[in-house]
Amino acid sequence: MRKIQLGSVSTGTLRTEDLIDALSGEIKYLEIPNAQKILSEANEITDFDTENASFILEEMFEKLNEYAPPHMQFGSHDSDGANFGWWTTDFENCHTLSIDQGKFVDTECGLYVEVNDHGSMTVKELGGAVIWDCV
Domain locations along the chain: 7-88, 96-134
Res. 82 pLDDT band, cuts 50 70 90 = very high
Indicate the Cα dihedral angle 42, 60, 8, 120, nearest 10°. Answer: -150
Task: Report, as an integer, the average pLDDT of 100-121.
Answer: 80
Query: Is the model's pLDDT at 98 over the cut of 90?
Result: no
Q: Which pLDDT belongs to residue 117?
A: 80
Question: Which pTM value belongs to this model?
Answer: 0.81
Task: Report, as an integer, the average pLDDT of 79-88.
Answer: 94
Please count the other Cβ atoms lying within 10 Å of the Cβ belonging to residue 23: 24
Nearest by Cα to 16 from 82, 79, 68: 82
Contacts of 14 (CB under 8 A, 6+ apart): 81, 82
Q: Which pLDDT belongs to residue 1?
A: 60
Query: Is the model's pLDDT at 99 over the cut of 90?
Result: no
